[in-house]
Amino acid sequence: MYSEKVMEHFMNPRNVGEIENADGVGQVGNPKCGDIMKMYLKIEDGIIVDVKFKTFGCGSAIATSSMATEMIMGKTIDEALSLTNRAVADALDGLPPVKMHCSVLAEQAVKSAIYDYAQKNNLQFDGLEGFDPNEDHDHHHEEHED
């Protein structure tokens, strides 16, 4: 069902935890749907110098969180904002179709944490245009193949 890469990240997730006094914190998902992702960022001079996550969710949710943190670590904010769910999924050697939405969650969690940072510091980022952190991501049926 899952690639070896997914299982590896699921069993040994990178960057699990919290950052005290984080510069940006974002949470997406909904426990009703069985998944919540929370992302913490430490940002210095526009660079993400530390990132941690906590996730309540399936194997794919945990693996995508882990991969996403690896992919944005040390990157600029603009680079982090350009991270797509597809890129996360590809980096994990793919996800089953019904699980693609978990990677969407990872992309949203990153954006949501940066949004929080932008709000606190009165900053604007092109990559956040149109992003609404409170949008209800009722994603559970969109990728259903029939």
- Interaction site with ligand FES (CB under 6 A): 33-35, 57-58, 60-61, 99, 102, 105
Closer residue to another protein, CB minimum distance, 63 or 127: 63
We find the least distance from the C-beta atom of residue 39 to ligand FES, in angstroms, to be 14
We find the least distance from the C-beta atom of residue 34 to ligand FES, in angstroms, to be 5
b (16+ CB within 10 A) / e for 113-140: bbbbbbeeeeeebebbeeeebeeebebe
Q: Are 73 and 43 in contact (CB under 8 A)?
A: no
> Which region, judged by CB under 8 A, interacts with another protein, from 13-21, 41-49, 85-93, 124-132?
13-21
Residue numbers annotated as active site: 33, 102
- Secondary structure class of 104 (helix, strand, coil): helix
Closer residue to another protein, CB minimum distance, 5 or 79: 5
Binding of another protein by 13 (CB under 8 A) = yes
How far is it, in rounded angstroms, from Cα 146 to Cα 121? 45
b (16+ CB within 10 A) / e for 79-93: ebbebebebbbebbe
How far is it, in rounded angstroms, from Cα 29 to Cα 93? 23
Binding of another protein by 58 (CB under 8 A) = yes
# residues near another protein by CB under 8 A: 29
Binding of another protein by 98 (CB under 8 A) = yes
Binding of another protein by 94 (CB under 8 A) = no
